[in-house]
Amino acid sequence: EWLKERAKNAVIPVEESAIMRPDHIFGDCGPMVIHICHACRKFNSSRPSKLVAEGMMELPMALCTVCRSHMNRQRSLKFFEYELPSVKKSLNL
């Protein structure tokens, strides 16, 4: 019941907040964590993978606006709430 009540007030992201740029996503040197909803997982599970190079496989991935927006927010939070304070600490700023 609590979850239902909270979900009533949730805002579904618009397309503008869900734009993804591969150079930003894959340019980071840290690990990448992706949270994907059930609908996206189900859709992607039926898509074929492709061998693209020795030891490299391409997994096609389609994400809804909620999953894409969440991934963008995760990256932003990591930068502003982890990386910047870490640099400040290491440089004694």
Q: Give the integer Cα–Cα distance in Å for 71 and 21.
A: 11
pLDDT value at residue 46: 94
| Separation between Cα atoms, residue 8 and residue 40, nearest integer Å | 21
Three-state DSSP class for residue 10: coil
Q: What is the full per-residue pLDDT of the chain (93 aa) written as tens digits?
A: 888 888 899 888 888 888 988 888 888 887 888 899 999 999 999 999 999 999 999 998 999 999 999 998 888 888 888 888 988 999 998
Helices (H) and strands (E) in the chain, counts: 5, 2
CB atoms within 10 A of CB 75: 17
